[in-house]
Amino acid sequence: MKAISKFDYLSKYWFIIASCKELKNKPIQKKLLGLDFVVVKLGSEIKVFPNRCPHRNVPLSNGWVKNNRLVCPYHGWEFDKSGVCANIPGLSECESVPKVLLKNIEVKVIKGLIWCRLTKGDKATEPYIPGHETNNDYNTYFFQSQFDGDIVNVAESFLDPFHTPFVHSGLIRTDKKRSLNKVRPKIIANGIEVEYLKTKPQSGIVSFIDRGVNRDIGRFLNPGIIELEYHSDKCLEFTNTMYLTPTEEGKTSIYFKASIFPRIMPTGFLNFMVGKIFKFALQQDIDTVSMQKKTINDWGRESFVNTKFDVVRGYLDSFYKQNKPFDKELKDFEAYL
Ligand code: FES
Ligand SMILES: [Fe+2]
């Protein structure tokens, strides 16, 4: 099995292929790095196999589960949790089942998310679990969605605060109420982070849950994890973790966790509000990235003018497009946000 060349260099990393919520009693079809997979629960185990029956190449995701085996919808071959063909209907008792095996894709199920890795990599590529998730105090709101756009442009859309007074006008920031921020970009292990030190509370509706947030951090971790942290002097008040998965060329799935440190406001209400706000903002980003992709396609190529505000783009391009270390010097600067 071969990943399409555009994604070859990503195949040693773990990506989320699905959430456990999506997986009921039936197999489901999922794309990852341009390839087609079937995700299925066999007994208590979640398994991922290439989505084609080795017999006549019918998608196994159109099949069903019987006695903890995945059944092909065409001739009913049955595959057990090791991917071994365990039964071929019609064989007489004295015949044994020929040796046929589905490739068993490496899977890890962590906190309701199903991670996969297509080829073995080094330790640095283990699934990423945010530090605050080990702290049960945080309330987490989860949702998932899809972008019609390349992972590099999707990642940039989350890490770039300069679009927020326009795309999310009034919601996250307001153009007319900007204030000075100190911006501190730096390279970290496996990624890049940018710290924004505020001189005033953020404008926009989100300020109703401001809680004295005076420091934001936008972080990118290879191969597609984004953390947006909002710190007060007391603690990490809110944090969003976004896991991006390139499903096929020009398409990106997102698994989104918004976590809140509980305070006076009732948790359920706050979760509901924050969930609503983030979902609304996410749709605005999805629409923008889709518009960007259409324009790039219409013109036949992209053409980007980069300024110091586009501080993470150089790193993202190095990682996604050239797959080589980023070696540019990053400088602090000031900006109105
Ligand atoms: S195609 Fe799957 S059993 Fe024949
Ligand atoms: Fe945005």
pLDDT digits (tens, 9 = 90+) for 107-120: 999 999 999 999 98
Q: Is 53 in the pocket of ligand 1 (CB under 6 A)?
A: yes
Domain that holds residue 109: 5-124
Identify whether the C-beta of residue 73 lies closer than 8 Å to the C-beta of residue 26.
no
Atom 1 (ligand 1): residue with closest C-alpha? 56
- Are 119 and 85 contained in the same domain? yes
- Percent helix, percent strand, percent coil in the chain, to nearest 5: 25, 35, 40
- Are 269 and 248 contained in the same domain? yes
Split at pLDDT 50, 70, 90, the class of 85 is very high
- Are 207 and 66 contained in the same domain? no
- Residue pLDDT, tens place only, 139-188: 888 889 999 999 999 999 999 999 999 999 887 788 888 888 999 999 99
Number of the ligand closest to the Cα of 79: 1
- Are 111 and 14 contained in the same domain? yes
- Are 181 and 320 contained in the same domain? yes
Identify whether the C-beta of residue 192 lies closer than 8 Å to the C-beta of residue 186.
yes
C-alpha triplet 310, 179, 258: angle, nearest 5°:
65
pLDDT on residue 243: 97
Q: Is 88 in the pocket of ligand 1 (CB under 6 A)?
A: no
- Are 288 and 322 contained in the same domain? yes
- Are 45 and 153 contained in the same domain? no
54 Cα–ligand 1 center, Å = 7
- Are 60 and 92 contained in the same domain? yes
- Are 173 and 211 contained in the same domain? yes
- Domain limit, last residue, from 92, 124, 156: 124
Average pLDDT over residues 260-274: 71
Atom 4 (ligand 1): residue with closest C-alpha? 75
- Are 136 and 117 contained in the same domain? no
The reply to whether the predicted model has a pTM over 0.75 is yes
- Domain limit, last residue, from 124, 140, 173: 124
Number of independent structural domains in the chain: 2
Identify whether the C-beta of residue 44 lies closer than 8 Å to the C-beta of residue 71.
no
Average pLDDT over residues 255-272: 76
pLDDT reading at 284 higher than 60: yes
CATH number of domain containing 29: 2.102.10.10
CATH number of domain containing 263: 3.90.380.10
Cα atoms in the 13 Å half-sphere on the side-chain side of 175: 6
- Domain limit, last residue, from 83, 104, 124: 124
- Are 103 and 166 contained in the same domain? no
Q: Is 55 in the pocket of ligand 1 (CB under 6 A)?
A: yes
Q: Is 242 in the pocket of ligand 1 (CB under 6 A)?
A: no
- Are 117 and 221 contained in the same domain? no
pLDDT on residue 204: 67
Q: Is 77 in the pocket of ligand 1 (CB under 6 A)?
A: yes
